[in-house]
Structure 1
Amino acid sequence: MNQVFTEHLIGAQQSKYRPSEEEELKHFEEMKDVNPFSPHLNIEYHGKITLIPSKKTPKKYLLDLALGLEGLRKFFRQESLLVLGDWPTPWLYQENDHKAVQKALNYLKKRIDATFNGGFELKGKELIEFIPHLFWLIRCNASLPGFLMGYTQSDTVISLCKHGSLHIDSYSTNEFEKLRKYFSRRGFLKIRNCNSPVDFNQS
């Protein structure tokens, strides 16, 4: 288990989901993740960057996104990419008749049941197949939680938004500089504001 990823996840739950009403607060305390690490890390934030591929069609864009994440896994010499919701909502919680979302749901239904709310460890071909499906779930299924990604022994946490942008938070200066150079070499672009860089309605 990755301690930096865990600390980031629990912090995200506190800021995003913690309610003010007492009754709802009790439910939150029952559902939230518990940090198994002791003592807790005093993790130091080192930087944030938002990146997009430079490809101009949805299929090529999402493939480049997936290849970029798989390439970064190899570049960092990591065993796998972790993908986990920031709240224990089942992955198959919401149906959707959008063609790309249906394809994503069918992909997941072959691998998990309707109650599964855990995470995935991905590498290689499986990672490359998974990322486009993850994007369509994020873009079209608003009832799902946010999803966080991180490599097994990395101090960097990544999320993918509904616009297809990678939001990268790093707790290591060394990793942050390396990943900036890596994505730059791959032709990824740094952006300040998210707005869909390609017309995903073409899909």
Structure 2
Amino acid sequence: MIKSRNDILKLNNCFAEHLLSVQKAKHEPSEEWNEGDTVILDDSDKPTVLTKEQADNLNQEDLEHYLKNRDDITVEKLHDWDSQTTLISSKQTIKDYFYDISFALIEITKEHGNLIIMGDWNTPWLNQNNDYPPVLEALNFLKTKIDFDFNGGFYLTQHEIKEFIPHLFWLTRCNASLPQFMMSFEKSKTILNICKNGVLHFEFYDSIEKHKFLRLFKDMKFIEINSCNDPIDFDKMGERQIVADN
């Protein structure tokens, strides 16, 4: 089931807190342009030394871009960050690897509710074309469910997770212009994502839930790692693409 960004954020306060904090850290202007700075402006291919007026205009544009595109929703601060970890499946084929991840997520839904997935910025899911076969398959899958402007999220039942997760991975791996797709569960205080290397990243906001989840993944023979590298040979990364901003 698809949902708007606001509807997704209203499902899980902890998920909303985390996503808004990521938006603030990534996109809120933190360093101002100053008179005398050198920059290549959109209407030129040569460096420009900024006047005070130009610097002020750029600072205003950056702030307006953040305010226009952030999720404008009030969320009560209820949760303190506990810790993080990264895990990989011990399976050695692509099919088995993502079946393993999907099965673990399905197990969690039995107690913590449906899986929710949404990008940490409002970039549409179909923002970038790619003819690399697994990515093209993922895009065609999404086109049966959403239109080209859709930037909301998915609310997945147990029966939908297995099909969705491999497509999510290939979008993340090969379409670099897309946002980070965050996941949680309707009644969970854990945020996770699958990075371009196929590694599961966890952000825990509840120690009891953390130990419960880690026990599940340990029983399933997932492996904790300290750095991100491809755990199996997905591909050579030759088709990773970036859409340049206009």
* Equivalent position of 1:12 in the other structure: 22
Equivalents in 1 of 2:178, 2:140: separation in Å? 16
Equivalents in 1 of 2:225, 2:157: separation in Å? 27
3-state secondary structure, aligned to 2:72:
coil
Equivalents in 2 of 1:129, 1:42: separation in Å? 33
1:140 is the counterpart of 2:177: no
Q: List alignment gaps of at least 5 residues for structure 2.
A: 1-10, 32-58, 237-246
- Runs of 4 or more, structure 1, over 4 Å off, are none
Equivalents in 1 of 2:85, 2:139: separation in Å? 30
- Percent identical: 43
Map Cα deviations across residues 30-79 of structure 1 (whole Å, 9 max, x no partner): 11012333xx22421112110010011112111211111112222xx122
Q: TM-score, normalised by structure 1?
A: 0.94
Q: TM-score, normalised by structure 2?
A: 0.78
Equivalents in 2 of 1:146, 1:174: separation in Å? 26
Instruction: Tell me if structure 1 keeps the 8 A contact 2:14–2:78.
Output: no
* Equivalent position of 1:191 in the other structure: 225
1:155 is the counterpart of 2:165: no
* Equivalent position of 2:36 in the other structure: none
Equivalents in 2 of 1:44, 1:87: separation in Å? 22
Instruction: Tell me if structure 2 keeps the 8 A contact 1:52–1:166.
Output: yes
Alpha-carbon RMSD across the aligned residues, in angstroms, is 1.4
3-state secondary structure, aligned to 1:200:
coil
Which residue type is aligned with residue 36 of structure 1? T
Please list, as runs of the form range in 1=range in 2, the aligned pairs for 1:105-144 lying within 5 A after superposition. Answer: 105-144=139-178
Question: Larger Cα Rg: Structure 1 or Structure 2?
Answer: 2
Pick one of 34, 38, 48 that aligns with 2:72: 34
1:170 is the counterpart of 2:204: yes
Which residue type is aligned with residue 27 of structure 2? Y
Map Cα deviations across residues 72-103 of structure 1 (whole Å, 9 max, x no partner): 222xx122000000000100000001100000
Report the number of matched residues: 199
Of structures 1 and 2, the one scoring higher in RCO (CA 8 A, sep 6+) is 1
Instruction: Tell me if structure 2 keeps the 8 A contact 1:7–1:35.
Output: no
Which residue type is aligned with residue 16 of structure 2? T
